[in-house]
Amino acid sequence: MGLILGIDLCDSFSQISVYSPEKNAPDPLLLGGSDAGGMISTTLCKVKGSDRWLIGTDAYQRALMGEGTMVDKLVKLLMRDTSATIEGVRYSAVDLMAAFIEQLIRLPRIVYKEEEIDSIAFSLRVLDPDLLDRLTEACDKCGLDRSHVRFLSHTECFAYYVASQPKELWPNTVSSFDLTDAGLDYLEMKVVRGRRPQILQASREALDEAFDLDLLESPMGERMADTILSACADRLLQKKLVSSVFLTGEGFTTVDWAKEFLKKICNKRKVFSGQHMFADGAALIAYDSTLKESRFPYLCICEGRLSSTISLYALQDGRNEQLILAAAGSNWYEAKASAEFILDDIHTLELMVTPFATQRVETISLSLDELPARPNKTTRVEVIVSFASENRVTVRVVDKGFGDLFPASGTVIRKDFLIS
């Protein structure tokens, strides 16, 4: 079996977890030297006069010694689609990210003496469609098979990480505080019981109380940060039955500075502090995607997953059948679907949107009047459903004509709408 990797890709640091079939669990890739602990600085350096690229702290050191040119904030560069000029050569954000990923996946290849990658999942704080498209292009440049690559939200990786833990840790709501240079995030996961399958419902909130990690470099700053987090705990955890709290991010590399905050969150709860939670969750999902049947008998509703099912009714073999175009719980970036129909006295396409765990059905109507006028049952159309996020949907109806009698006109009817 080839490598199964979970990578938490962030602007400041990236982390790798390798799924171990022997341990039946993710194995964090812990490095020695300057990148000890496996928090690899998301930094790239091109060594002067060569085609060699370095990443992590090695990149910083070479740049500081004047032996190379350093580029950091690679995720932000990719989001903005900007470029950098190094030794007179212009490198696009995709080129730079490809160079970083290539060096990043080289690390587990060396440690595990295995070149083949069977599955790789990237965990990202924000799932932006343009970012994902460019990240896909960067993975292509690294020679990664698209069918083996997945992009996941921090929220989803958190949910699957928690679901992989002993059930006594999550009988009720589970919370997490993620403190990094990018901000302070609060994540929450709970199980919606009484349904089959059971539902994992998870969410992430970027907190306004975020502060720069430089605040932790002085005793006064530590006290201020402790006060800020204590207020967050009071606001977010009170009146909730929270079983466990997970602390992660470079801000929680040590928790000695957060004494009052710890007192509040440890009250009748289990508290865990550490890194690799998102990378571990990504590795679990990467492994699960290689199996014929998922080991997680849950429907996950969270950032990155559709919360509603989109369907329509069509006549098939003489019966009016419901055709599901996108199901609740699907990854929106992978959920593009299409189907072809012959119109039978139909002038309006009606899509049904059904939010999970409800009986409510919303109907979205799309007029077909722009299609060429033809006799009944002589117009074939393709209905394409795609997504720009978990709640932004685009529906296109493409005229396909009807053989040589009625050639395709090229008409495309499009509608964009939001779902709950």
pLDDT of residue 107: 95
Contact 107, 32 (CB under 8 A): no
- pTM higher than 0.85, yes or no? yes
Reported confidence tier of residue 80, pLDDT bands at 50, 70, 90 = very high
Asked whether residue 194 carries a pLDDT value surpassing 70, the answer given is yes
pLDDT of residue 32: 59
Q: What is the pLDDT of residues 81-139, one digit of tens each?
A: 999 999 999 999 999 999 999 999 999 999 999 999 999 999 999 999 999 999 999 99
Judged by DSSP in three states, 35 sits in helix
pLDDT of residue 10: 96
Q: What is the pLDDT of residues 365-412, one digit of tens each?
A: 999 999 999 999 999 999 999 999 999 999 999 999 998 899 999 899
Residue owning tokens 């999550």: 170
Reported confidence tier of residue 255, pLDDT bands at 50, 70, 90 = very high
pLDDT of residue 336: 87
Q: Which two tokens stand for residue 114?
A: 């295995």
273/249 Cα distance (integer angstroms): 9
Q: What is the pLDDT of residues 195-215, one digit of tens each?
A: 788 899 999 999 999 999 999
Contact 3, 118 (CB under 8 A): yes
Tell whether omega for the bond before 129 is within 30 degrees of 0, i.e. cis: no
Q: What is the pLDDT of residues 36-52, one digit of tens each?
A: 568 999 999 999 989 99
Distances (CA, A) of 69 to 35, 53, 54, 217: 19, 10, 10, 28
Q: What is the pLDDT of residues 286-342, one digit of tens each?
A: 999 999 999 998 999 999 999 999 999 998 888 999 999 999 999 999 988 999 999
Q: Which two tokens stand for residue 14?
A: 């990236």
Enumerate domains of the chain plus CATH numbers.
3-152 (3.30.420.40), 157-279 (3.30.420), 308-418 (2.60.34)
Reported confidence tier of residue 276, pLDDT bands at 50, 70, 90 = very high
Q: What is the pLDDT of residues 234-249, one digit of tens each?
A: 999 988 999 999 999 9
pLDDT of residue 420: 77
399/232 Cα distance (integer angstroms): 54
How many Cβ atoms from other residues are within 10 Å of residue 201's Cβ?
A: 19
Judged by DSSP in three states, 41 sits in strand
In 116-230, beta strands by DSSP E: 117-124, 149-153, 173-180, 183-192, 198-206
106/44 Cα distance (integer angstroms): 14
- Amino acid making up residue 261: F
